[in-house]
Chains A and B, each alone.
Chain A
Amino acid sequence: MDWFPLYNSLRIAGISTVITFFTGIFAAYYIAKAPRVLKGCLDVVLTLPLVLPPTVVGYLLLRILGPKRMVGAWFLSTFGLKLTMTWWSAIFATTVVTFPLMYRTARGAFEAFDETLAYAGQTLGLSNSYIFWRIRMPYCKQGILAGTVLAFARALGEYGATSMIAGYTPGRTATISTTVYQLWRTNNDALAFRWVMVNLAISAVVLLAVNLLEKKKTGGRSVV
């Protein structure tokens, strides 16, 4: 059994989780404080990938990053870099799809934060970045961790947008989900089943982790 799809899936999910972790928290922190109308608008735009079919997300990404499209063409002519059909192309897809999960869970956690703690920190002379990383983040830890794990799990299972932007090249862009589809399509039922079991095992562990995190007193609300 060639383990490349597992390795590829994990690195794609890992990298995109790191990206959504920071961008999601950043967006959540500032949008939680934004005026109501702006908050409502941004909320819709940023949550959209959660409800759109992954193929629609894939289509839109290709529309932007494809070699003949605006951003894609620029990268190709400037750096000689093709943004699609490489292993890391899938990171675009998984990042966009998992962003809303991180963003919404983190926002719920931030909104439940007791703001007097931040005020107390300020009057005690603590810097705003100290307050953010040493008081606000630990307070919202459970919600943010749950969001991170969910984002990772979703990235691991991404199929639609990934297959459109990264395709399926064995040993190069194959992930677990695209491999399962390919094996089933080519009637390799036994191997497909083994990959299904691998996927089930990983997902079960991840969800177990989410449940354990949420059982403790959580600062945030879950979105799913």
Chain B
Amino acid sequence: MALSVDIEKKLGNFHLKVKFEVENEVLAILGASGCGKSMTLKCIAGIERPDKGRIILDGVTLFDSEKKIDLPPQKRKVGYLFQQYALFPNMTVEQNIACGVREKERKAEAVAEMLHLMELEGLEKKRPHQISGGQQQRVALARILINAPEVLLLDEPFSALDTHLRFHLERKVQEILGRFGKTVLLVSHDRDEAFRLSDSIAVMEQGRVETVGRKKEIFADPKTRSGALLTGYKNISRAKIVDDTHVYAVDWDLTLTVPRATVGVEYMGIRMHDIRIAKGMEENTVICKVIREIEEPFSYTVLLAPAGKKAAMPLGVQLDKSLWESIREEEIAVCLPPEALLLLKA
């Protein structure tokens, strides 16, 4: 069930140019809102039409601008889970699931099976607005999966749900995706969600896929500035190479030691929890003034300005609650371990 996408589409000033291939795994498309994630899914489903390019699903050409092929959405065997689930409000749960069944003879049987599988028994006669968000999500999935699509597209599947429900419902969806076993595209702007549910991650920025790779590799080395932002790097500065092992962080006004400075580096970053209180004179130890402390539920985020420097941006450090409460001072020495410093392209 390989899906290969290589399309371009212009929309006013926005230029979508996407290319990737995926086979029998969950690929998360991670990007900020408005980067073209949903548009990509709509092109694959046939709701939007790309200006040029090719979409091939399991050997079948869904779209090819050169060969003038553009299959209607009805013939694409693509399951699309919309952000708000798009259940038909005038139909019951049962009718919603049954309405698209292709094999009419097996309809009743297939619907009953789906209701059981999705834990929706007892809700057959309810209308979509009478059931919970999680149940709505499962009705929408049931109605898609009943026709055994070749690929599943999930557009921000949890954004319509309350935060405290998400984790639990995410496990159910994970279970369903596991059973599905074919190609799944998951669009998300939530890095944790993307990490938990996917095998691979494609980072998207302004209509382009910047990096694609196994999720662990992407999180360990996002390669680009937008990738770093999306995978949770809060401290990012412009960078200039000094020599083989030293880089100057422009926005922090600091020269820092790195394991190896590579050519083409334009930014550098470090995770907030990777910065720690310095023990003695370690490498990359910086004396900082505390600008602000922000209390989080289980930790403190402390904003620091390197002392005696002209930093354009503060350094954020995440510290354990009890630790910060015991040392709380106006000036502290922190260490930016060289191995935790990430060098990035633009």
Contacts and interface: CB of A to CB of B under 8 A. Distances in A.
Interface of A: 114, 116-117, 119-127, 134-135, 138-139, 141
A116 B74 contact: no
Nearest to A120: B86
Interface stretch (B76-84, B109-117, B186-194): B76-84
A194 to B, nearest CB: 44
Contacts, number: 56
Contacts of A141: 90
A123 B143 contact: no
Interface residues of B, number: 24
A123 B82 CA distance: 11
Overall SS of chain A's interface: helix
Interface string B82-93: 101010111000
A126 B96 CA distance: 12
A124 B95 CA distance: 13
B74 A122 contact: yes
Nearest to B102: A125
B144 interface: yes
Interface string B47-70: 100000000000000000000000
A66 B84 CA distance: 56
A139 B100 contact: no
B90 A123 contact: no
B210 to A, nearest CB: 28
B90 A119 contact: no
A119 B88 contact: no
A201 B147 CA distance: 54
A122 B75 CA distance: 9
Nearest to A117: B86
Contacts of B45: 119, 123
Contacts of A116: 82, 84, 86
A126 B86 contact: no
B150 to A, nearest CB: 12
A135 B143 CA distance: 15
Contact of A123 (B78, B88, B89, B102): B78
B18 to A, nearest CB: 19
B346 interface: no
A124 to B, nearest CB: 3
Given A119-B80, A123-B79, A114 B74 contact: no
Nearest to B80: A123
B264 interface: no
A46 to B, nearest CB: 28
- Which of A119, A122, A123, A141 has the largest number of chain B CB atoms within 10 A? A123
Given A119-B73, A127-B74, 8 more contacts: A117-B88, A119-B80, A124-B144, A124-B147, A126-B74, A135-B88, A139-B89, A139-B90
A119 B73 CA distance: 8
Nearest to B143: A124
Contact of B73 (A114, A122, A135): A122
B147 A125 contact: yes
Given A138-B90, A139-B90, A123 B84 contact: no
A141 B89 CA distance: 12
Given A124-B99, A125-B147, A119 B86 contact: yes
A135 B75 CA distance: 20
B46 interface: yes
B70 to A, nearest CB: 13
A45 to B, nearest CB: 30
A125 B144 CA distance: 10
Contacts of B147: 124-125
B90 A122 contact: no
A77 B20 CA distance: 69
Contacts of A125: 74-75, 100, 102, 147
A123 B76 contact: yes
Given A116-B86, A127-B74, A122 B99 contact: no
B72 interface: yes
Contacts of B75: 125
B86 A114 contact: yes
B91 to A, nearest CB: 8
